[in-house]
Amino acid sequence: MTKRLMRTIAIVAVLALVLVACGTPGGDETTTTTAASGTTAAPTTTAAGDTTTTEAMMECTEPIKLGLLQPLTGGLAASGGDAKDGFELYWETNGLTAGGCDIEFRVVDTAGNPDTALQLVDELVDNYGADIIVGELLANVTLALADRLKDKDVIFMSPIGSADDLTQREVDTYPNFTRAGGWTSSQTSHVLGDWAYKEGYRNVATICTDYAFGHEMCGGFTQVFTEAGGTVVPAQQLWNPLGSTDLGTYVTQLDGFGVDAVFALQVGASVSDLLNNWTNFGLKDSLPMLGGEVMMDVSNVRNVPAEQVIGLISSGHWAEGLEAPATQDFVAAFDGAFDRIPSYYAAATWTAAQYIQESIEAMGGDISDRAATLDVMKGLALDTPFGPSVLDEYGNPIYDIYIRQIEERPDGRVWNVVIDTYEDIDQFWPKTAEEYLAQPVYSRDFQGNAGG
Amino acid sequence: MMKRLSLTNRVKLVLLAAAIGFGVAAPYIFSSFIVGLLSLALIAGLFAMSIDLLAGYAGLVTLGQAGISATASYGVGYMANKVGAGIPAQLLVGIAAGLVASAVFAAMAMRTGGVAFIMITLAQGMIVWGLSIRLYQITGAENGLTGIDRPAFVSEYWQYYYFVLTVVLICSFLLFIAVRSPFGSSIKGIRESESRMRMLGYNPALQKFYVFMVSGFFASVAGILFVYLNEFISPSAAYIAASAIGVLEAILGGIGTLIGPMIGAFIIVYIQNIVSTNLERWPTLMGLIFIVVILFARQGIVGAISSGWRRWLESRGPSGPGTAGRDPSDELALDSS
């Protein structure tokens, strides 16, 4: 009996080896094999491998496929849900066609985990056959995705994940990446640094979340503010861990510094905690708080008692109270569909969808040449919910950046209205690209502080 | 060796042969995505088996195992991304980092058991996670480490799958031997009664140290396979959730069965990656499955199947071939009881 079993196992094993010798698994997929496959010496006998997919797409027998990756469960579910809703609403409103081609898309849940995102993006690219990938919310997941997709035959768009270097020092690493509809972290806080100095603030302390996004937001503010002549004492730059929900001790420290104002950038649950402490320690009316974009985003402040946030100032490329038709049409449509004022997450994926539709239109429905499609995208000048948008040569938008103040609407809800506008701000402003790229990316150690 | 095999063992061998046959044929049947997921499930299975060695055999439930596997992953990632070293150096540093972490962890935890052991390992795992976020120069903090390329001979996804399959099979075989060796018996003895083992002349703390090191070695192997699979490593791999998922996989499949954690890993990977694309509330489904397993099959899936099988054998009576019931060679049933 044992002998017969051993024989069976041996036969299975031999059969398996024969199978291995006979051909390359997955040879019938057109999208998976990369340039490296020529050197692996695997015998490829499978026929019907390289069907002419490009010609098929030109006649639009197959729809153009998009994949959206967002965290729909876990701690970021609310923001990720906004991003999903904005994307879906765009296609519902404007129709799933462009350039005579049908468009279809799939939304997948990353749960905010880079490892999960990497597995799911393989499925979207290799199996589903996505032409364009849009994702993710977190900068670290976006970086991981950009790295995975850089050799694949897709276009990767990141309207939310805002890690600076993707369109700066590392731009050549990711040739198929574009930030259409997105932003770089420090792009909006540069402007706030300038505005704060002109407003008369001279000494500012900062409290930012201690990770790449916080470093970049804080660095953007600190560099422009100190180079304008303001002072940020390095010891008065506080860094709290990601996810802190008791910021009371930080708030008492900030109170003791005797500064003119505080620049703050928190995310998630830390936002309401900081604002709550700010009010409880009586600082709301005595020590001005200047917020980084995401912190004062409507997705955060709509969960906070209105009296804690009314009057607070921040800068951003998104201002839901902007009096422009494209913005207010979008706000009204989103509010009508989901009964809430859209956050920048929703505006971002909506705008990304707008870029996708317009560039497919401009390419006449054939986006198989990814590089040409990206070039066309860079040539578009769109009127988006963010305001007028064009892309710089690095693939990052040039926007109007708004100084925003939180105001109560007649219906009792709060939103950001525009009190000042900096027109046509690129990611390097106020420096030139050459000057800016000569310095390292912002980190805890490098805040670009002119005073030390 | 000429002894006639029991029915139970014959069934097991056939199932094993079928599983291996399926494993070998998979790249010809499925798309690259599914094959990638199978690689992931095999790696997750090895990781859960390393937890099972501690939890199921030594009775030491750990919540810090991801700290060890992630340390090994970071060892590889650091050598690849920051140093630019070749594959041998990556592997060497990876496995060394995993073993050093295991040794430090084991030395701290070896004199405890029960809840104290859970708490210490939990803290250890969180220390690795905290360090991975803080030591920017080594780990790249939240951004993680990219640019970790697979060795050239397994660069294609299906080549890597076969590589993973081979390594996991070898590791499973080693684990299988380990739990049936005198060493395996001694750690089971410690699970049952530490004082009695001390009476027999064993040093329970030392035995715990050894089993922790063995478990840590296999966790490190899993960590290294994982980092080459994703070609990426970030702090989320060391987070408590990663350790907890490993424990849940072991419990779902059946603690103390070795094969159970592998089955549990396949189920969890399936839900996380395939069900999740169609079902937005997939975590709810996962929770429900856990509740059902805990309520109706405390021994896990493998435990439930093996006790059902035993009952069926008993109902057949003693006439059947392979003498049913409490067959001494029926390790599967014994271990899960």
Q: Which residues of B touch A114 (CB under 8 A)?
A: 144, 232, 234, 236
Phi, psi of A390 (to 5 degrees): -130, 160
Residue range B249-287, pLDDT digits in tens:
999 999 999 999 999 999 999 988 888 777 878 888 988
Q: Which residues of B touch A24 (CB under 8 A)?
A: 156, 158
Mutation target vs A (from B40, B133, B277; most A CBs, 10 A cutoff) = B277
Task: Kindly state the DSSP code that residue B322 receives in the 8-state scheme.
Answer: T
Q: Which residues of B touch A140 (CB under 8 A)?
A: 142-144, 234
Question: Quick one: B103 exposed, middle or buried, by C-beta within 10 A (0-12, 13-18, 19+)?
Answer: middle
Task: Report the 10 Å Cβ neighbour count for A72.
Answer: 22
- CA B250 and chain centroid, separation: 7
Contact state of B282 with A36 under an 8 Å Cβ cutoff: no
Contact state of B24 with A144 under an 8 Å Cβ cutoff: no
The pLDDT-based confidence of A50 (bands split at 50, 70, 90) is: very low
Contact state of A143 with B146 under an 8 Å Cβ cutoff: yes
SS3 content of chain A, % helix, strand, coil (to 5): 45, 20, 40
**Domain boundaries defined on chain B:** 31-273, 297-337
Residue range A387-429, pLDDT digits in tens:
999 999 898 999 999 999 999 999 999 999 999 999 999 999 8
The pLDDT-based confidence of A439 (bands split at 50, 70, 90) is: very high
Q: Which of residues 214-243 of B touch A (CB under 8 A)?
A: 230-232, 234, 236-237
Nearest by CB to A211, from B21, B142, B273: name it. Answer: B142
User: What is the residue-wise DSSP string for B249-295?
Assistant: HHHHH-TT-SHHHHHHHHHHHHIIIIIHHH-TTHHHHHHHHHHHHHH
- Say how far apart CA A74 and CA A268 lie, in whole Å: 12
The pLDDT-based confidence of A7 (bands split at 50, 70, 90) is: low
Strand A155-157, strand A132-134: pairing: parallel
**Domain boundaries defined on chain A:** 61-184+325-399, 186-321+400-438
Is there a common fold for A61-184+325-399 and A186-321+400-438?
yes
- CA A86 and chain centroid, separation: 14
Q: Which of residues 117-136 of A touch B (CB under 8 A)?
A: 118-120, 122-123, 126-127
Q: Which positions ≥6 away from A25 have C-beta within 8 Å?
A: B27, B28, B35, B158
Contact pairs from chain A to chain B, CB under 8 Å = 139
The first and second tokens of residue B40, run together, are 């992931």
B-chain residue closest to A107, CA distance:
B277
Q: Which residues of B touch A109 (CB under 8 A)?
A: 276-277, 280, 282
Mutation target vs B (from A15, A109, A217, A442; most B CBs, 10 A cutoff) = A109
- Which CATH number applies to A61-184+325-399: 2.40.50.140, 3.90.226.10, 3.40.50.2300, 3.90.870.10? 3.40.50.2300
Mutation target vs B (from A19, A32, A149, A150; most B CBs, 10 A cutoff) = A32
A244–B contact, CB cutoff 8 A:
no
Question: What is the helix (H) or strand (E) element at residue B314, kind and residue range?
Answer: helix B300-316
Length of chain A: 452
Nearest by CB to B280, from A72, A144, A444: name it. Answer: A72
A446–B contact, CB cutoff 8 A:
no
Rg (CA), chain B: 20
A-chain residue closest to B144, CA distance:
A140
Q: What percentage of chain A reaches a pLDDT higher than 90? A: 65
Contact state of B136 with A443 under an 8 Å Cβ cutoff: yes
Phi, psi of A442 (to 5 degrees): -60, 140
Distances (CA, A) of B200 to B178, B193, B204: 20, 11, 10
Nearest by CB to B17, from A8, A33, A119: name it. Answer: A8
- Say how far apart CA A151 and CA A145 lie, in whole Å: 11
Q: Which of residues 364-393 of A touch B (CB under 8 A)?
A: none
Nearest by CB to B31, from A29, A113, A444: name it. Answer: A29
State yes or no: pLDDT of B317 exceeds 80. no
Residue A200, sorted as left (phi over 0), alpha (psi -120 to 50) or beta, turns out to be left
The first and second tokens of residue A271, run together, are 């936002």
What's the pLDDT score for residue A387? Answer: 93
How far apart are the CA of B32 and the nearest CA of chain A, in angstroms? 6
Nearest by CB to A16, from B21, B157, B276: name it. Answer: B21
Mean pLDDT calculated for residue range B187-199: 91
A-chain residue closest to B9, CA distance:
A2
Q: Which positions ≥6 away from B306 have C-beta within 8 Å?
A: B254, B257, B299, B332, B333, B336
Question: What is the helix (H) or strand (E) element at residue A108, kind and residue range?
Answer: strand A101-109
**Which residue bears the tokens 């590589």?**
B163
Q: Look up residue A285 and give its amino acid.
A: D
Task: Report the 10 Å Cβ neighbour count for A379.
Answer: 11
The β-bridge partners of A416 are A406
Question: Quick one: B292 exposed, middle or buried, by C-beta within 10 A (0-12, 13-18, 19+)?
Answer: exposed
How far apart are the CA of A7 and the nearest CA of chain B, in angstroms? 11
Contact state of A119 with B232 under an 8 Å Cβ cutoff: no
Which long-range CB contacts under 8 A does B263-268 form with residues at least 24 apart?
B263/B45, B263/B301, B263/B302, B264/B45, B264/B48, B264/B300, B264/B301, B265/B41, B265/B42, B265/B44, B265/B45, B265/B47, B265/B48, B266/B41, B266/B45, B267/B301, B268/B44
Q: Look up residue A191 and give its amino acid.
A: V
Nearest by CB to B142, from A23, A118, A212: name it. Answer: A212
What's the pLDDT score for residue A452? Answer: 65
Mutation target vs A (from B154, B231, B236, B239; most A CBs, 10 A cutoff) = B236
Distances (CA, A) of B102 to B114, B134, B186: 19, 21, 20
Question: What is the helix (H) or strand (E) element at residue A400, kind and residue range?
Answer: strand A397-408
Q: Whole-number mean pLDDT of chain B?
A: 89
What is the three-state SS of A324-373?
Answer: CHHHHHHHHHHHHHHCCCCCHHHHHHHHHHHHHHHHHHHCCCCCCCHHHH
Q: Which residues of B touch A12 (CB under 8 A)?
A: 17, 20-21, 24
Q: Which residues of A touch B159 (CB under 8 A)?
A: 40, 42
Higher-confidence position of B107 and A16: B107
- Which CATH number applies to A186-321+400-438: 3.50.50.60, 3.20.20.70, 3.50.30.60, 3.40.50.2300? 3.40.50.2300
What's the pLDDT score for residue A326? Answer: 94
Residue B141, sorted as left (phi over 0), alpha (psi -120 to 50) or beta, turns out to be left
Contact A402, A315 (CB under 8 A): yes
How far apart are the CA of B201 and the nearest CA of chain A, in angstroms? 39
Higher-confidence position of A29 and B133: B133
Q: Burial letters for A230-243: b for 16+ Cβ neighbours within 10 Å, e otherwise?
A: bbbeeebbbebebe
Contact state of B10 with A5 under an 8 Å Cβ cutoff: yes
Contact state of B277 with A148 under an 8 Å Cβ cutoff: no
B17–A contact, CB cutoff 8 A:
yes
Residue range B143-168, pLDDT digits in tens:
888 889 899 999 888 999 999 999 99
Nearest by CB to B142, from A15, A20, A140: name it. Answer: A140
pTM, to two decimals: 0.80
Contact state of A114 with B25 under an 8 Å Cβ cutoff: no
Nearest by CB to A114, from B27, B36, B236: name it. Answer: B236
Phi, psi of B317 (to 5 degrees): 80, 175
B33–A contact, CB cutoff 8 A:
yes
B-chain residue closest to A22, CA distance:
B28
A-chain residue closest to B151, CA distance:
A40
What's the pLDDT score for residue A310? Answer: 93
ipTM: 0.75
What's the pLDDT score for residue B319? Answer: 52
Q: What percentage of chain A reaches a pLDDT higher than 70? A: 87
B329–A contact, CB cutoff 8 A:
no
Contact state of A19 with B28 under an 8 Å Cβ cutoff: yes
- Say how far apart CA B282 and CA A288 lie, in whole Å: 44
State yes or no: pLDDT of A158 exceeds 90. yes
Which CATH code for domain B31-273?
1.10.3470.10
State yes or no: pLDDT of A10 exceeds 60. no
What's the pLDDT score for residue A37? Answer: 33
Residue range A104-146, pLDDT digits in tens:
999 999 888 888 899 889 889 988 999 999 989 988 889 889 9
Mutation target vs B (from A1, A45, A108; most B CBs, 10 A cutoff) = A1
Nearest by CB to B273, from A16, A42, A119: name it. Answer: A119
Contact state of B32 with A12 under an 8 Å Cβ cutoff: no
